[in-house]
Chain A
């Protein structure tokens, strides 16, 4: 079965603090893809990153970085020097090797306090 767990329901940080959002996944597929999406108050889900199961190299994009560890089935997301505009709900998602479905976690609501 495919499953994504985001144990952190809500996080609040003060602006300029770093924050890490956790994501743990379960799958029996050897080929799979992991994603992070951002859902701001406006509601539209915005793609942030995709990672395939064969690429464990960490990635950095500006203030965003992602740590993929197959050994612990985790794909964590760090925002460095958080800003108020980062306030949103963040979803981690998994797509298996059939490519037919995305499985989303329950999301982490991040509030950045000015």
Chain B
């Protein structure tokens, strides 16, 4: 399978714990995006990378959130000191470039903070 893969698919954690999600994009895609989706809402932009450079971050991304894409391939999204409001589906997507095409999404990582 050469699609976008995310791991883990589900994570249940206690408030205050740190969690990390991983995303492996489609190999030839140089753009990688993180989105968050809560129940009944559309995906909300968090951040994106062009190769290894993080070029834009949403105001939704508090200082407890950090994302990396160290070698321009896979990416990680870490949430420190989780809060119940962080419970959501975290979606990763990749694309070939700024205007060349659509986003290809992974199946998402669902986070539940107790």
Using CB atoms and an 8 Å cutoff, list the residues of chain A in contact with chain B: 4, 33, 35, 37, 42-47, 50, 91, 93, 95, 98-107
Contact = CB atoms under 8 A, between A and B. Distances in A.
4 smallest beta-carbon distances between A and B, as pairs: A99-B98, A104-B42, A45-B105, A47-B102
Nearest to A47: B102
**Residue from A33, A47, A50, A102 with most neighbouring chain B CB atoms (10 Å):** A102
Given A43-B89, A93-B42, A100-B48, 9 more contacts: A44-B106, A45-B91, A46-B105, A91-B42, A91-B43, A95-B99, A99-B98, A106-B41, A107-B42
B70 interface: no
B65 interface: no
| Chain B, interface SS category | loop
Nearest to A103: B45
A110 to B, nearest CB: 14
A106 B40 contact: yes
A50 B95 CA distance: 13
Contacts, number: 54
Interface residues of B, number: 24
Contacts of B55: 100
Contact of A50 (B42, B91, B102, B106): B102
A106 B37 CA distance: 10
14 contacts: A4-B42, A43-B89, A43-B107, A44-B105, A44-B106, A44-B108, A45-B43, A45-B91, A98-B98, A99-B97, A99-B99, A100-B56, A102-B43, A107-B41
A91 B93 CA distance: 15
B45 A101 contact: yes
